[in-house]
Amino acid sequence: MPEPAQDEQFTFGGSPADFPEEWQEEGPNGPRLKADKRKNVPRRLEVAPDGGVAGGGRPCWFIPGKFGFCLNCGEMPAGQAREFNKLATLSAEGRSSATTLLVSSALRWLNRAEARIPEDKRKLLAFTDNRQDAALQAGHFNDLIFVSLLRAATLAALRCAGPEGLGDQDIGARVQETLGFKAQNQPRRLEWMLDPDVKGVAQLNAEKAIAKVLWYRVWSDQRRGWRYTNPNLEELGLIDARYLSLDDLVADQEEFAAARRELRDASPANRRKAHSIPFDAMRTGLAVSTEVLDNSVLEEIGYASRQSLREPWTIGLQERKRTASALMIDAPKREEAGLQGEPLVLRGGSRSALAKKLNRTAMWGRKLARRIRLHS
């Protein structure tokens, strides 16, 4: 891995404190690497333009064995993850993605007014040699269209809301309006209602169900990195999250009178950054307290959606729900948390990726003591 040049965010130097919490243990003189991890320690090299390892070349880091963690942010991929998925980029699409884009482009062209193609002729036929590939391609196409539609509606709703944005309780209903998923919009009923011909209270139930499903979908889509080759709107820089009254808090010197010196003497801009980092980590890790992520509430929403809505707007029984997780300072080891428990843990210990991000020298001018915690 070439070492980033003149990048203040890259601080990895190979010392034990630079490694993830799971790689470290307490020694007599402070943190040290665990014995079973030492064979996988990245080594700093200098590589010449011809590929040879020689002094005076480009500084690089050689990572032996499997990819264990990111040297920049400290994040550790799941142990059972494939190497391809750990390092996949936006250019890593396979045959399914390419076919989906070609098909969607062809259908878009067929349905343009200037194409002058009769409606009964606007068809596309694809061939495959086995039903498994056909099912995979159909699922990939449906999923991409669903995610693209949801994100487009979310972006449109936020743009319509203007600079004030939308709050937690409003986002679901506003995305619903943008999609046109209202019972009075009869032509659109076929797209989201299980029975488009229902009347009376059943229509109201369907509207309530779709609003809550969309509320949940918007929250779950904020989860960082859960789609390798389809980053969400925030990762693309199209939207951002703001925290109410945070500017007032960081500018109130009285609130920080009893805080640690680093926060007490910090500028409002640095205080804002120091609070935004853990807030963003908790939000994108879904370690938040909101009604729609409560497991019992989510079960009710899922049941109501299956009674009134058609796929893909339901929350299915087999879907792995992105329920709220918890920020833990003294988190259990990954093997203790297990495959089911690990997604519900957001690690915030002194050696975690979150702590290292908070301890950037560029923010404070120096490294902080390990036990400093944010004023709340």
Spans of all domains in the chain: 1-66, 188-223+262-376
pLDDT at 74: 79
Q: Give the residues across from 44 on adjacent strands.
A: 61
pLDDT at 91: 62
pLDDT at 59: 93
- Asked if 43 contacts 64 with a C-beta cutoff of 8 angstroms, the reply is yes
Q: What are phi and psi of 24, to 5 degrees?
A: -110, 160
pLDDT at 18: 87
pLDDT at 102 over 50: yes
pLDDT digits (tens, 9 = 90+) for 33-52: 999 898 999 999 999 988 89
pLDDT at 42: 94
pLDDT at 324: 66
pLDDT digits (tens, 9 = 90+) for 317-373: 877 555 667 888 777 777 677 666 676 778 887 777 788 788 776 677 777 765 544
> CA angle, corner 8, sides to 39 and 234, nearest 5?
95
- Mean pLDDT confidence for 231-241: 91
- Mean pLDDT confidence for 99-116: 88
Q: How sure is the predictor about 23, in pLDDT bands with cuts at 50, 70 and 90?
A: confident
Specify the range with the lowest mean pLDDT, choosing from 74-78, 94-98, 361-365: 361-365
Q: How sure is the predictor about 375, in pLDDT bands with cuts at 50, 70 and 90?
A: very low
Residue 294, number of CB atoms within 10 A of its CB: 14
pLDDT at 225: 60
Q: Alpha helix locations (H) across the chain?
A: 83-86, 95-110, 131-161, 171-179, 189-192, 201-220, 246-251, 261-264, 268-284, 295-308, 334-341, 353-358, 361-364
Contacts of 117 (CB under 8 A, 6+ apart): 110
Q: How sure is the predictor about 29, in pLDDT bands with cuts at 50, 70 and 90?
A: confident
Mean of all residue pLDDT scores within the chain = 86
pLDDT at 228: 62
pLDDT at 90 over 70: no
pLDDT at 195: 94
